[in-house]
């Protein structure tokens, strides 16, 4: 459809994540409704939508925290619908939670060690921890407890922890929540660096500025369904999207 999509079209496009008729009902409420979602390898996709659109539930269906009422989740070509969360992660998926989930009482180094050691051991693990410390600029604060770090540093630490398992797919749930404008900008750059390294990334985000900065394509969820999908320009120009999403946000802030 767009010029951007042309080179990787049809058959040679390898999907890292694919949902088929994915549905989740909580009693009478259908939080996620028949979602067919496709995420090609190497893409940076943003998932947006107003509160209650089903973004979090969708993410939980992907990670396995919820099991779907119907439909399937395929990851890297395999059906993972019936797998436990830890088994999904072991196949190469990683999640950064929305709320800060660093290990508060452990040191920065211990925090990084936990995810790193699952796939690396010995000197290799130590080297990787050093490398990650360096990337997020916390090398000289390694012995501090994670809980004593500033909010932005903790978010970065957590992104580094999510990267420590060398995922093929990185799920970021509102990675810049609570960050300053500059921190958000820097986080955007960090995320783009990760894409350049070949990681596929799905970002659930509220901050439209970050979405503008980083996204290849944007998927808009509304009332549990995919409302529309397209490039950032298309989405921000879409009057219907403005009505359901941006309009709502403006209302909320007013």
Relative orientation angle of helices 151-163 and 122-135, to the nearest 10 degrees? 140
Measured from the CB atom, is 157 or 244 closer to another protein?
A: 157
Binding site for another protein (CB under 8 A): 63, 65, 84-86, 89-90, 94-95, 97, 101-107, 109-110, 113-115, 117-118, 121, 143, 161, 165
The three-class DSSP label of residue 26 is strand
Measured from the CB atom, is 51 or 104 closer to another protein?
A: 104
Measured from the CB atom, is 110 or 192 closer to another protein?
A: 110
Measured from the CB atom, is 104 or 209 closer to another protein?
A: 104
Measured from the CB atom, is 167 or 230 closer to another protein?
A: 167
Question: Which pairing describes strands 78-79 and 169-173: parallel, antiparallel, or unpaired?
Answer: unpaired
In whole angstroms, the minimum distance from the beta carbon of 198 to another protein comes to 20
Question: Which pairing describes strands 29-40 and 44-48: parallel, antiparallel, or unpaired?
Answer: unpaired
In whole angstroms, the minimum distance from the beta carbon of 89 to another protein comes to 4
In whole angstroms, the minimum distance from the beta carbon of 92 to another protein comes to 9
In whole angstroms, the minimum distance from the beta carbon of 115 to another protein comes to 4
Measured from the CB atom, is 84 or 124 closer to another protein?
A: 84
CA-based radius of gyration for the chain? 18
In whole angstroms, the minimum distance from the beta carbon of 127 to another protein comes to 16
Question: Rounded distance, CA 16 to CA 55, Å?
Answer: 19
Question: Rounded distance, CA 235 to CA 218, Å?
Answer: 7
In whole angstroms, the minimum distance from the beta carbon of 81 to another protein comes to 18
Instruction: Give buried/exposed letters for 50-88 (b at 16+ CB in 10 A, else e).
Output: beebbbbbbbbbbbbebebeebebbbbeeebbebeeeeb
Residue with tokens 């990337």: 135
Question: Rounded distance, CA 144 to CA 154, Å?
Answer: 12
């Amino acid at each position: 459809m767009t010029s951007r999509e042309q080179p990787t079209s049809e058959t040679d496009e390898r999907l890292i994540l694919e949902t088929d008729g994915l549905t989740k009902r909580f009693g009478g409420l259908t939080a996620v409704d028949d979602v067919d979602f496709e995420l090609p390898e190497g893409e940076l996709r943003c998932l947006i939508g107003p509160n209650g659109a089903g973004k979090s539930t969708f993410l939980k269906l992907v990670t396995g925290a919820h099991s779907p009422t119907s439909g399937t989740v395929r990851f890297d070509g395999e059906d993972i619908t019936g797998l436990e969360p830890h088994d999904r992660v072991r196949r190469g998926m990683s999640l950064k939670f929305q709320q800060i989930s660093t290990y508060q009482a452990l040191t920065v180094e211990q925090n990084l060690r936990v995810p790193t050691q699952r796939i690396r051991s010995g000197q290799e693990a130590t080297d990787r921890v050093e490398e990650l410390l360096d990337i997020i600029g916390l090398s000289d604060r390694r012995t501090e407890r994670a809980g004593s770090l500033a909010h932005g540093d903790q978010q970065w630490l957590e992104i580094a922890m999510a990267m420590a398992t060398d995922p093929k797919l990185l799920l970021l749930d509102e990675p810049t929540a609570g960050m300053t404008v500059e921190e958000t900008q820097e986080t955007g750059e960090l995320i783009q660096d990760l894409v350049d390294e070949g990681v596929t990334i799905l970002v659930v985000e509220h901050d439209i500025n970050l979405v503008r900065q980083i996204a290849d394509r944007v998927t808009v969820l509304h009332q549990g369904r995919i409302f529309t999908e397209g490039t950032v320009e298309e989405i921000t120009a879409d009057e219907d999207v403005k009505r359901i999403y941006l309009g709502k946000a403006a209302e909320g802030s007013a």
